[in-house]
A and B are shown apart, each in its own frame.
Chain A
Amino acid sequence: MSMELLSAFDFIDRDDFVHRLDPRTKLFLVIVYLTLLIMFRQYIVHLILLGNLIIWILLARMVKRVIKSIRGMAFIIFFIIFFNTLFSPSKGLNLGIQMTLRLVNIIMAFSIFFQTTHPDDLTQAIAKMGVSYPIAFSFSLAFRFIPTLANEVETITKAQKSRGLVLQKGGLFQQIRSLFPLLIPLITNSIKRAFYVAESLEARSFGIQKTRTQLHPVRLRFADWAIFVFLLVLLAAGIVAKIYQPQLEVFAIFTFEIPL
């Protein structure tokens, strides 16, 4: 279950509208969504936001992967709805469903961001927002080495098991202790690797000058600005709605809930 969920945040190399958007645009999407989702818990808002996301998902041709990751969340979703209903029979179901919608929205938004943003592009975007390039680059490096580290963890685990390491036996404390033979080699090898990487960067003049060329530069284009404006309007509408919500009857539709 957790692997399916985690795979929602892997970068998928494709060439479509969403992929070609600047990372900053997609980052703004996430920020706007986070803000609106925190401000509101009403169905109508979540459903509108979800609807918008579905358009994005279709554009990025991510449908199959999204369904897979929702399957990965199935257990959590059931958990949320079940326990909310249990503890508060009258309002619980609504609360549960709203929490679920919120969760799904956030995960979908982040998912879109990570699946369509190349780590190198993200690095560039972060650098353009003022962070020094070497620091921004460390994000890229982290992504680059994820499969390497995953592989190394597996090898270390197997090697230690061959020497008699037993995992997942005994009380919590013992289980944690049994992780040391895994963590320590992982950490020391990572530190060693960090030195090699640093040597490799130094030897290729990394960080020597402020302006470096980018083989694939990220640029804000018309589509980016258009979406940026759209998101801004969405955010503004949300803020306005929140302020005037109690007064305006029209917005009674906001308080639609499942009658129990």
Chain B
Amino acid sequence: MRNIRFENVGFQYSNEFTALSNISLNIQNGEVLGIMGRNGAGKSTLIQMMNGLLKPTEGNVFFDGITTNDYDASKLVQKIGIVFQNPEHQLFSSTVEEELNFSLKNLQISKDLKAQYKDEIIKELNLQSLLHKSPWNCSGGERKKVSLACILCRKPEVLVFDEPTLGQDKSGYKILDNIIHKAKERKQTIIVVTHNTEFAYHYLDRLVVLDNGRILADGPTGEILTNSTIHENSSLIEPQFFKFKKKMIENNLPDNEVFKLIVQAKSFNEVEKIIQNSMGEISQ
């Protein structure tokens, strides 16, 4: 039910460059999955095969048991929504509202339902103030919001993000955080292509790491992010908290209660709390 399956999939571009080979992957409904790897490892190609934008040159991609070749293209694209990296590749209308209208236009649903979806996304992402603005006058963060809205308003069953954290500051991150939490509540499948190991550590349960078009590793986030051999081959950087803990217990372990608590902590917030509680005020 709503699962995505890659069976020995390969993809070769017309200039004979092989982007993917031997990809076998099973993504169950409701999974929160990350796809990581060096630039050029095939991450974008992989996700574009999920909604039929690219068809495999070898093997088959199945959604819900049906191959992407057999699906009606526009239906598949609606079910699996990919938010692309660069809003400037999408924005073309005179107002943000028109962008939303365009995104809803070709959906096979009633006019009323379209209006409802539109209202819902405007509320969810706080777009009221932007509606009559031209996308060209919007700031970078606002544009990212609009491009998110354009996919989310179509209510896809599976959400795919291509590098959503690029260029995001605090407020942008909050919006992303919100969206992911809501999607998790709705038990939607979420797939994120990212380099950002911090993000992966906080939000994603499972990671698939690509290297030169092949799957280098596939497993729970914790395992993958602590495996240094994987990091070397895929340009990953250890999450800050893991690195921190590693450095803390290097060399001699001090025999200290607070220290032991810190070593067991799961986040920087916890570490802060521990120290706050255990230290008295220092006279400056």
- Asked if chains A and B are in direct contact (CB within 8 A), the reply is yes
A152 beta carbon closer than 8 Å to chain B: yes
Say yes or no: A159 contacts B102, CB within 8 Å.
no
Residue from B83, B84, B106 within 8 A of A155 (CB atoms): B84
Say yes or no: B90 contacts A164, CB within 8 Å.
no
Q: Which of B48, B90, B136 has the most CB of A within 10 A?
A: B90
Say yes or no: B89 contacts A152, CB within 8 Å.
yes
Residue from B14, B81, B92, B136 within 8 A of A162 (CB atoms): B81
- In the complex with contacts A181-B102, A185-B91, A164-B14 CB distance below 8 A: no
A156 beta carbon closer than 8 Å to chain B: yes
Q: A163 to B151, alpha carbons, bound, how many Å?
A: 6
Q: Which of B78, B86, B89 has the most CB of A within 10 A?
A: B89
A189 beta carbon closer than 8 Å to chain B: yes
Q: A156 to B90, alpha carbons, bound, how many Å?
A: 6
Q: A131 to B253, alpha carbons, bound, how many Å?
A: 75
Q: Which residues of the other chain, A, contact B84 by a CB distance below 8 angstroms?
A: 155, 158-159, 162
Number of interface residues of B (CB under 8 A): 28
Q: Which residues of the other chain, B, contact A166 by a CB distance below 8 angstroms?
A: 74, 106
Q: A181 to B88, alpha carbons, bound, how many Å?
A: 11
Say yes or no: A162 contacts B53, CB within 8 Å.
yes
CB interface residues, B 109-163, toward A, < 8 Å? 136, 150-151, 154
Say yes or no: B107 contacts A164, CB within 8 Å.
yes
Say yes or no: A158 contacts B92, CB within 8 Å.
no
Residue from A164, A184, A189 within 8 A of B106 (CB atoms): A164
Residue from A3, A164, A192 within 8 A of B102 (CB atoms): A164
Q: How far is the CB of A193 from chain B (nearest CB, A)?
A: 10
Say yes or no: B106 contacts A162, CB within 8 Å.
no
A180 beta carbon closer than 8 Å to chain B: yes
Q: Kindly supply a per-residue 1/0 record for chain A positions 162-174, scoring 1 wherever the CB is within 8 Å of any chain B CB and 0 otherwise.
A: 1111100000000
CB interface residues, B 62-120, toward A, < 8 Å? 73-74, 77-78, 81-84, 86, 88-92, 102-107
A188 beta carbon closer than 8 Å to chain B: yes
A161 beta carbon closer than 8 Å to chain B: yes
Q: Across the interface, name the chain B residue whose C-beta is closest to A160.
A: B90
Say yes or no: B154 contacts A180, CB within 8 Å.
no
Number of interface residues of A (CB under 8 A): 20
Say yes or no: A162 contacts B102, CB within 8 Å.
no
Q: A181 to B93, alpha carbons, bound, how many Å?
A: 8
Q: A161 to B77, alpha carbons, bound, how many Å?
A: 7
Q: A189 to B136, alpha carbons, bound, how many Å?
A: 11
B51 beta carbon closer than 8 Å to chain A: yes
- Closest 5 pairs between A and B when the two form their complex, measured CB to CB: A184-B92, A164-B106, A159-B84, A159-B89, A163-B103
A-B contact pairs, 28 of them (CB 8 A): A3-B14, A152-B89, A156-B89, A156-B90, A158-B48, A159-B89, A159-B90, A160-B89, A161-B73, A161-B77, A162-B51, A163-B90, A163-B150, A163-B151, A163-B154, A164-B74, A164-B102, A164-B103, A164-B105, A164-B107, A164-B154, A166-B74, A180-B92, A181-B102, A184-B92, A188-B88, A188-B92, A192-B88
Residues of B within 8 A of A (CB): 14, 48, 51, 53, 73-74, 77-78, 81-84, 86, 88-92, 102-107, 136, 150-151, 154
